[in-house]
Structure 1
Amino acid sequence: MTFLSQLKTGGVIVREGAQARLLPGLSSTYALAQAAIAAGAGLADLLPAGGETVDLPALLAAGAIDVPVRHPEPARMYLCGTGLTHLGSAATRDAMHAGTSEQLSDSMKMFRMGLEGGKPAAGGIGVQPEWFYKGPGTEAVAPGDPLTSPAFALDGGEEPEIAGFYVIGPDGVPNRLGFSLANEFSDHVTERINYLFLAHSKLRPASFGPELRLGALPAHVEGRSRILRGDTVIFDQPFLSGEENMSHTIANLEHHHFKYAPFRRPGDLHVHMFGTATLSFAAQLTAQPGDVFEISSPQFGLPLRNPLAVAPATGPAVVHSL
């Protein structure tokens, strides 16, 4: 497998097997993607030979690794996702949003729609999933950097997911670069108050990487989600992803995002998170500032770790009239 990592200071690292090297002449993964689109080639076809051998784990530990892909204009980087897409996701969400025992929650209705119509035949269009927006590229947090919860938030919890990265070509066609680990950080207490608060609960930062896996998403992904408080592991559960564990195909989720014309603007970068079925919130655990979220999967290289932080209160938003 081929993996790419982006340095915060500029530069792209490729890892194939145990060896990692800094690619000569490349400033960013985004620039590499643009060159591949222009050449009608795959990313792996344009990787230059040679380059200095580097210690990728040491660079990660030193805080030198960024998210796998950034747009040079943060406002043109979209962080979005889909929920209720995994076979185990209904129980947790239904418990958060359930009505009476005789009445299905909206979450369970949406999940059942996915089970019945989320995997159309090749070339077909299935049922549309739940969709959410997290923010522009300013909200993409590098591995190792804090995931900062706003002061008004009621909770800051992890969501271990897989994210796809897409650059829109000059013809308006999305080009998928690859997939990485993601922490789709959310406010589950706010969401639980009322399902209509879902949009509010998702307007939070998210973290990606540290490595971008090129090629197709494996049909079966296994990983672990842990939370460390000092030297103590206070949460440790497996998570599953890949189409074998999902109620939607990746192609169906991609269609229902990119069917909207504003999401096919040439040059834009989209990072799309595909959902999860594992949450520490479901285990009645409340993360505290300083806790470290760790999401790992051997299929995606090095683990993604981020500490939790809380921003200082700023009071009411101030609006000036001109």
Structure 2
Amino acid sequence: MTYLRLLQHRTTDGVRSVILAEGDAAHVLLGVTSVRELALRAIAAGETLAETAKACKQGEAVDIRGEFEAGRLLAPIDHEDPAHLILSGTGLTHLGSAEGRDKMHREAMASEKPTDSMRMFLEGLEGGKPAPGEVGQQPEWFYKGDGSQLVGPHDPLLMPAFAKDGSEEPEVAGIYIVAEDGTPYRIGFALANEYSDHVTERHNYLWLAHSKLRQAALGPELLLGPAPAGIEGTSRILRDGKTLWEKPFLSGEANMSHTIANLEHHHFKYGLFCRPGDVHVHFFGTATLSFSDGVTTLEGDVFEISAFPFTLPVSNPLARAEERAVAVRAL
């Protein structure tokens, strides 16, 4: 089976285009400069995004791997006004995802009492996959930021100067756009590094909200249509060009305690997330973390995440932002 993917490209002189890839073949779509533009066109025409993309005139063929290695591929979604792109996510959604979190919180609580994390995971395991037409258990939910926090497949992931840690979270993200009538449309899926500060979270689980206010990276490909039930990938950390840590990770509904539809319901049930024109990137969670294996990352480490059916990885070096003064003035 071949999968349709859309990619956003920018030349060295700033000219943008959209690429349609199917299998090993890829070509530029003429007259299109962004995936968001193409998605709105599909909604207006009452078509699927794949139908609209295939109907576009074909431009030149593209070697997407070569363009990826040259650093000319962008995140597969963005918004001309970053304030109208929302990054959010759900945790404790994957089979086995509670183990590392529960261990972290037990150490903080020094108690045999089940943690809130374990309770939430078990509730999701019991009620996260409701029958069609029913509403299931709501998941943990968190906010990561707006479009200013989204970086491309090669860009550095910046730790704030005050951060205690910067660690990878290999995930699949759902990409959405809200139509003029307020209806959210899922336009596809992307490979992602949700990236968090686990040391801050470990100190006190009520600091989870702080630990998630970090950048996030997307791989270059937007996978169109339904996601495979099982997604198998590899998450690795490179230090000085050598593999420091490597582990397989699993995603897709076959490896989750929630359905994607249930996670989507509990995000878009809030009217404020149905503002026409807005773009949403929603991270579905993971069960694989280097932090759980005792890895301490350093500036310069490279997070590399790959998974089929995506043909290209998301590969980002870790960096630290300069310290900035915080000064609030009274008027």
Q: TM-score range by the shorter chain?
A: over 0.9
Output the CA distance in 2 between the equivalents of 1:306 and 1:21.
26
Deviation at 1:202?
0.2
Q: 2:249 aligns with which of 239, 244, 259?
A: 239
Q: 1:215 aligns with which of 206, 214, 225?
A: 225
Residues 1:34 and 2:36 aligned together: no
Q: 1:54 aligns with which of 58, 62, 78?
A: 62
Which stretch of structure 1 is more off in the superposition, 90-99 or 130-139?
Answer: 90-99
**SS of aligned partner of 2:267:** helix
Output the CA distance in 1 between the equivalents of 2:58 and 2:242.
42
| TM-score normalised per structure 1 | 0.98
Deviation at 1:100?
4.7
Percent same amino acid at aligned positions? 58
Deviation at 1:281?
0.2
- Unaligned regions of 5+ residues in structure 2, if any? none
Q: 2:80 aligns with which of 63, 72, 87?
A: 72
Q: 2:178 aligns with which of 154, 158, 168?
A: 168
Q: Is the 8 A contact 2:231 2:308 kept in 1?
A: no
What is the match of residue 251 of structure 1? Answer: 261
Output the CA distance in 2 between the equivalents of 1:36 and 1:7.
20
The one-letter code of the counterpart of 1:227 is: I
Q: Is the 8 A contact 2:195 2:216 kept in 1?
A: yes
What is the match of residue 147 of structure 1? Answer: 157
Q: 2:294 aligns with which of 255, 280, 284?
A: 284
- Unaligned regions of 5+ residues in structure 1, if any? none
The one-letter code of the counterpart of 1:245 is: N
Output the CA distance in 2 between the equivalents of 1:233 and 1:279.
15
Output the CA distance in 1 between the equivalents of 2:276 and 2:311.
30
Output the CA distance in 2 between the equivalents of 1:27 and 1:239.
33
Could you say what the CA RMSD is over the residues aligned between the two structures, in angstroms?
0.9
Deviation at 1:101?
4.9
What is the match of residue 105 of structure 1? Answer: 115
| TM-score normalised per structure 2 | 0.95
Q: 1:274 aligns with which of 284, 287, 295?
A: 284
Instruction: Count matched residues.
Output: 321
What is the match of residue 7 of structure 1? Answer: 9
Output the CA distance in 2 between the equivalents of 1:103 and 1:6.
48
CA deviations 1:197-236 (Å, max 9, x no partner) are 0000000000012101000111100000000001210010
CA deviations 1:119-148 (Å, max 9, x no partner) are 100111001000000000010001111000
Runs of 4+ in 1 over 2 A off after TM superposition: 99-102
